[in-house]
Amino acid sequence: MSIFKDHKVGINQLLGVIPEALSSHLSETTKVDYYSKILQGKRMFYLLMHGILENERSSQRTLEDTFNDPVFKMLFNPDQTESVCRSSVSERLSKINSDYFKQIYECIHEQFSELHSGAEQLKYNLLRIDSTIVGETSNKPSEGLCNNQSLKAAVKYSTAFDGVLPCLSQVFTTAEYSSEDVALPEIVRNHVKEDKEHLNICVLDRGLQSTGTMKEFSEESITFIVRAKENRK
């Protein structure tokens, strides 16, 4: 059984905070299981969670191996005769309704807010914000940050993490967001809009270098720490 970092929390304990009734309700309202017989929404959620926690690097191939593993089937009760291949996992991930996972996350975040007082939550007021770019050959994504030289299209994922849970996530697919001086300020400001009484300190990497943006943050009472380049003038 996988242990979640140093907290000694097993995957069954993590999944136990999600009511079974919620999963069933979301399956109906989001139609996540439409035309899917094996890789249904709940199974995909279990598969992704188990795959991430059990593997150093998760991929479509490791998800295939995880689903076909007798241990996974023992834990999550798929039919022992059922199996999937990598291409099936890939196709399902490309078409599944992401709103199903979003609503599960919102349920978990709501439980956290109810269980911990404002003072306890303030222990996690360092907000780590970062982005990563995932590239694909240009004939696969329907939109993305295009690189004409390498014939690749890319998608930028930016996430804000408060030390317990991701509190905001955005996907950028247009060319101007290839610059962190554009993407990072937007996700910072969007978080501030959602949390009117925020006391967070935003921790950013050296991707943000615009002095103008830093000045605007100060004027907007956004507290931040940014890593400057060594050769900055």
Give 155-182 pLDDT, tens digit per residue.
Answer: 888 888 877 777 788 888 888 888 888 8
What is the pLDDT averaged over residues 66-74?
83
Cα–chain center distance at 175: 22
Burial class, 173, CB count within 10 angstroms (exposed 0-12 / middle 13-18 / buried 19+): middle
Looking at residues 103-126, what average pLDDT do you find?
A: 74
- What token pair was written down for 163? 């030390």
Banded pLDDT at 4 (limits 50, 70, 90): very low
> Which pLDDT value is given to residue 2?
43
Q: Where does residue 3 rank: exposed (0-12), middle (13-18), buried (19+ CB within 10 A)? A: exposed
pLDDT > 50? residue 73: yes
Q: Which domains does the chain have, with CATH numbers?
A: 11-101 (no CATH), 118-226 (3.30.420.10)
The whole-angstrom separation of Cα 144 and Cα 38 is 30
Q: Which of 228 and 203 is assigned the larger pLDDT? A: 203
Least confident of 42-46, 84-88, 115-119, 161-165: 115-119
For the ranges 5-9, 168-172, 173-177, 222-226, the lowest mean pLDDT is seen at 5-9
Q: Which helix (H) or strand (E) holds 52?
A: helix 41-54
134: Cβ–Cβ under 8 A, 6 or more apart, which residues?
154, 155, 156, 157
**Per-residue model confidence (pLDDT) at position 1:** 40
How long is the chain? 233
Q: Is the pLDDT of residue 197 over 80?
A: no
Strands 223-226 and 152-161: unpaired
Q: Report how far residue 224's alpha carbon sits from residue 233's, in angstroms, rounded to the nearest whole number.
A: 20
Which of 30-39, 55-64, 128-137 shows the lowest mean pLDDT across its residues? 128-137
Average pLDDT, the chain: 77
Residue 128 pairs with which residues in a beta bridge?
161, 203
Q: Are strands 126-137 and 145-147 parallel, antiparallel or unpaired?
A: unpaired
